[in-house]
Amino acid sequence: MPARDEVAKTLLRLGKTEFDTLRADALPGAPAQDWAATLAVTHTQDATVWTLRPLHLALPARPNGVRADIRALAIDGEDAFRAALDDWGDAPAPAETGEGPAVRLLIGVAPQGPPEIAARWRTADGWHEVDRMFLEGRPGVRLWSGGTPPAPDPLPPERVARFTSSFGVEAYQRLRRATAVVIGAGGTGSVAIPMLARAGVGKIVIVDSDVISPSNLERTHASFPEHIETPTLKATLARDHVRSIDPDIEVIAFDGRLPQRAIVEEVAQADVLLGCTDQHTSRLVLSDMARRYLVPAIDCGGLIEGANGLVTGQIIQLVLFRPHDPCPRCRGMVDDLRMRQELMSPAERQALIDAAGDQAPPPEAHEIPQIDTVGYITTTSGTLAAGYAIGWLTGRFDPPFQRMQMNLIADCLDVTDRPQPVDEACSCQDERGLGDAGELPFEIPAHWGTAHRL
């Protein structure tokens, strides 16, 4: 893996579903298995990102895609992979397709230890090494360069001694190489972000377009009355909080929203994505980004329920949106009326009211109902989301649920998982690895403007 201060010029991403298929054919004692696959291409300002399409699907006709030749084999250690690498390097190169550079990928699957991988791409100038490799669910993947395995990582500092005694030195080193994107820096995001920072995540991208308001002071960590007196963006506040925790972390803050282009480019290069808003549009695009760019995502939130002057429920919900998970529409988590309300500007809402005259205005002209919640609920939700993200990034544990709901005032917290199947009528699973191809889940409203890096 390249050092944190190097710019990653090329990134190759594989989802867990596709890797499991490749690994299943890499049997001990069996010959190497060769696959022809399609990669979608995403260009960012500082990188080219390739995402592997489902092995049974090609890209639609219009988008730019390239052919990938993949060889997977079982190995019993580093020496076996080095021998396979020599044989792979001597094999004839695949023919040019005319649609861009060809990509070659060699995957060595060991019974113990992380996968060993070599990856190259070709232009008219010849073959080049891939700079970074993301393999969903396998953060310890070892990317070889120039025929040699990656160099050892630096040892962690003393301040994370408790973390490394629990998770191991290698876990911290994986976090230091990782990138997390957090959408929303309010109640849930403002606690998830510093949790990731204190654990040692090397790069954190923060996205929010709101300023701190008086009602935020009860829930938003690191906020104080002076942030109301001098209007302060939540993203700026969270960025400065991270810098005060660890100045060596690369932290980027955006005044913006998904799916604005500058933010999409950061997501395409991330290792994990956290959704910390209470918006249906954000939830829908979070899932879309997870599928397109093969970035595992967690959506989190909380609310209070009540009746007859009593609090009857204090609910926390965490939802996994991995590339192979059902989308929010499959799960019935998106309301189209709420979507229209969220995408509408105040001027557009007022225009609907004015046009209605003496008649009742259409439902989308109504204000979005406020979700009732309090600081300890959002703090618990954000903390749990950060913890499960750390589990993914270190490879130490996976979330044991698909859609978890918890009631803080019920017996034994009434923790429930609500697994839901993919709707067969939904095309979401055909969108895995699409990258920039295809349509976004909604058109970005003009009044959103452009995302600004702070």
pLDDT in tens, 92-130: 555 444 444 589 999 999 888 899 999 999 887 888 899
Q: Looking at residue 4, what is its pLDDT?
A: 43
Q: Looking at residue 239, what is its pLDDT?
A: 98
Beta-bridge partner residues of 103: 68, 121
Q: Looking at residue 168, what is its pLDDT?
A: 94
Q: Looking at residue 371, what is its pLDDT?
A: 83
What is the token pair recorded at 34?
């060769």
Q: Looking at residue 7, what is its pLDDT?
A: 45
pTM assigned to the model = 0.93
d(Cα 115, Cα 87) in Å, to the nearest integer?
18
Taking CA atoms, 188 is separated from 214, 232, 278, 374, in Å, by 17, 18, 10, 10
Closest CA to 2 of 134, 158, 160, 200: 134
Closest CA to 288 of 317, 323, 330, 331: 323
Closest CA to 293 of 115, 435, 423: 435
- Rg, Å, the chain Cα set: 23
DSSP-derived pairing of the beta strands 403-407 and 416-417: antiparallel
- Does residue 3 register a pLDDT over 50? no
Burial label, 293 (beta-carbon count in 10 A; 0-12, 13-18, 19+): buried
- Classify domain 10-144 at the CATH topology level: Cytidine Deaminase; domain 2 (3.40.140)
User: pLDDT for 177-224, tens place per residue?
Assistant: 999 999 999 999 999 999 999 999 999 999 999 999 998 989 989 989
pLDDT range class, residue 2, cuts 50, 70, 90 = very low
Q: What is the mean pLDDT of the chain?
A: 90
d(Cα 104, Cα 130) in Å, to the nearest integer?
10
User: pLDDT for 237-277, tens place per residue?
Assistant: 999 999 999 999 999 999 999 999 999 999 999 999 999 99
Burial label, 304 (beta-carbon count in 10 A; 0-12, 13-18, 19+): middle
d(Cα 9, Cα 30) in Å, to the nearest integer?
35
Helix 375-394, helix 189-199: angle, nearest 10: 40
What is the token pair recorded at 13?
């991403």
Q: What is the share, in percent, of the chain residues with pLDDT greater than 70? A: 94
Q: What is the mean pLDDT of residues 54-59?
A: 70
- Does residue 57 register a pLDDT over 80? no
pLDDT range class, residue 370, cuts 50, 70, 90 = confident
The domain segmentation of the chain, as residue ranges, is 10-144, 159-440
User: pLDDT for 314-332, tens place per residue?
Assistant: 999 999 999 999 999 999 9
- Does residue 8 register a pLDDT over 60? no
d(Cα 295, Cα 50) in Å, to the nearest integer?
12
pLDDT range class, residue 62, cuts 50, 70, 90 = very low
pLDDT range class, residue 28, cuts 50, 70, 90 = confident
The secondary structure of 156-193 as a DSSP string is: PPGGGHHHHHHH-HHHHHHHHH-EEEEE--STTHHHHH
User: 3-class DSSP state for residue 111?
Assistant: coil
Burial label, 336 (beta-carbon count in 10 A; 0-12, 13-18, 19+): exposed
**Higher confidence at residue 281 or residue 66?**
281
- Does residue 64 register a pLDDT over 90? no
Contacts of 56 (CB under 8 A, 6+ apart): none
User: 3-class DSSP state for residue 248?
Assistant: coil
Q: What is the mean pLDDT of residues 426-438?
A: 91
pLDDT range class, residue 60, cuts 50, 70, 90 = low
Which listed CATH number (3.40.50.720, 3.40.190.170, 3.10.20.30, 1.10.10.10) goes with 159-440?
3.40.50.720
Q: What is the mean pLDDT of residues 296-315?
A: 91
Instruction: Determine the length of the chain.
Output: 454
- Does residue 346 register a pLDDT over 60? yes
Contacts of 181 (CB under 8 A, 6+ apart): 204, 205, 207, 263, 266, 267, 270, 272, 273, 274, 295
Q: Looking at residue 36, what is its pLDDT?
A: 87
Sign of CA dihedral 370, 371, 372, 378: negative
Are the C-beta atoms of 71 and 88 separated by less than 8 Å?
Answer: yes
Other beta carbons within 10 angstroms of residue 11's beta carbon come to: 21
d(Cα 370, Cα 207) in Å, to the nearest integer?
21
d(Cα 309, Cα 351) in Å, to the nearest integer?
37
